[in-house]
Copies of this chain bind each other. A is one copy, B any other.
Amino acid sequence: MSTPQLAVNSRIRPTPYSERVEAAGVKGYTVYNHMLLPAVFRSLVDDYRHLKQHVQLWDVACERQVEIRGPDAARLVQTMTPRDLSRAARGRCLYAPLVDERGGLVNDPVVLKLADDRFWLSIADSDVLLWARGLALGFGYEVSVEEPDVSPLAVQGPKSDELMARVFGEAVRAIRFFRFEPLDFHGHPLLVARSGWSKQGGFEIYLDDSSLGLDLWDALWAAGEDLEVGPGCPNLIERIEGGLLSYGGDMDLDNNPFECGLDRYCNLDRPIEFLGREALARIAESGPARRVVGLRIDGQVLPSCRRHWPVQAGGESVGRVTSATVSPDLGCGIALAMLDRGQWTPGRRVEVATPDSVRAATVSALPFI
């Protein structure tokens, strides 16, 4: 399949930064939460090299916020996740898998606790607003569930602290990992978190006024010229190297958190109430039937992984590759794969059926780097 064009219409929402993203020469988009998400600027490899060396601005407005507010807000959020949020302090970002009554993954947002009765769920690609609102209505919880005008802009890469300090002041350097603070931008306080979907360090700015989007982009761009600031986006290579799973591609409603290596976010020993507690307790006891691992694939060329690839060992099906690419820094193919129990041991040799050919591969722990 050749690379198709994306037919953009009003059903697919632009972002407050789209004008600048286009001016910066975006070459490919994906669609995420019914919104445009840049996928490549120069090339996957050029973007990857730049991300690891410099600093990039990422239009991740598609990380929509689901705001849950009201007397039952904490209760509703806890109902949705097996992670114990009872001791969370304001100003914390909490990665929290959401599960349904069977323990199936609904989404894997970062939860921002804004106040005891007010949370943002910074979501991956599924309509959490409908899920949360449906639950709230059914259970009769006293909460509002809304999508506010919030469009995150990520600043990622090793020079992020320097760039952010120039625009938001030196205070930004003191923000700890997965904490957020309100910082002034042109007289408007914006929540700034030390977080982001790369392993290169950086921040996410929760812009809560779309009309400031171009100003924010321009201010960061202008301040970063000598830092070689560039446009960027979540990078397939870097995120597989770092073992970051993409909801909808690497895991979905048919997977539970244990299959996805999210065991530490399942606080079954705590006295909290959430959907799927019984289901997760059963899985915890018996152990998951499959699990996400890394694969190093022999060779330095791979086709695009547009659909899952079968994985075999000794002629038997043992799982599937869910994402794959070639890592320039590792000099081989790397993949995320969901493998059956008994197939997880690092070093185990398996075979991956790519659309082009069958390739030998070695099970690897995650992250790769």
Which of the segments A6-14, A184-192, A346-354 contacts the partner chain?
A: A6-14
Docked complex Cα distance between A40 and B248 (Å): 25
On whether the beta carbons of A30 and B10 are closer than 8 Å, the reply is no
User: A128 on the interface (CB 8 Å rule)?
Assistant: yes
C-alpha spacing A32/B124, complex, angstroms: 16
A248's closest neighbor in chain B, by CB?
B11
Classify chain A's interface size.
Answer: 35 or more
In the complex, A138 Cα to B138 Cα: how many Å? Answer: 4
Nearest Cβ in chain B — how far from A364, in angstroms? Answer: 19
Complex: chain B residue closest to A9, CB-CB: B249
Q: Does A205 contact B (CB under 8 A)?
A: no
Interface string of A164-206 (1 = CB under 8 A from B): 0000000000000000000000000000000000000000000
Note all chain B residues with C-beta closer than 8 A to A322.
Answer: 10
C-alpha spacing A308/B34, complex, angstroms: 15
Which of A67-75, A108-116, A129-137, A282-290 interfaces with chain B? A129-137
Provide the bound-state CA to CA distance between A138 and B145, in Å: 15
Report whether B10 and A305 are in contact in the complex, using a CB–CB cutoff of 8 Å.
yes
A63 CB–B CB distance under 8 Å = no
Chain B residue with the shortest CB-CB distance to A44:
B7
CA distance A308 to B130 in the complex (A): 24
Given the complex of chains A and B, what is the CA–CA distance between A248 and B126 in angstroms?
14
CB of A5 within 8 A of CB of B4, answer yes
List the one stretch of A21-29, A48-56, A148-156, A264-272 in contact with chain B.
Answer: A21-29
**Given contacts A5-B28, A138-B135, A138-B138, is CB(A14)–CB(B306) below 8 Å?**
yes
Query: A138: which of B14, B31, B139 is its contact (CB, 8 Å)?
Result: B139
**Are B34 and A5 in contact (CB-based, < 8 A)?**
no
Min CB distance A47 to B, Å, is 12
**Residues of chain B lying within 8 A (CB to CB) of residue A253:** 129
A304 at the interface (CB under 8 A from B): yes
Which chain B residue shows the least CB distance to A249? B11
What is the chain B residue whose CB lies nearest that of A138?
A: B138
By CB atoms of chain B within 10 A, which of A1, A11, A22 has the most? A11
Are A106 and B125 also in contact (CB < 8 A) when A5-B29, A306-B8 are?
no
Known: A126-B130, A136-B138. A249 touches B5 (CB 8 A): no
Residues of B within 8 A of A332 (CB): none
| Complexed CA–CA distance, A36 and B104 (Å) | 24
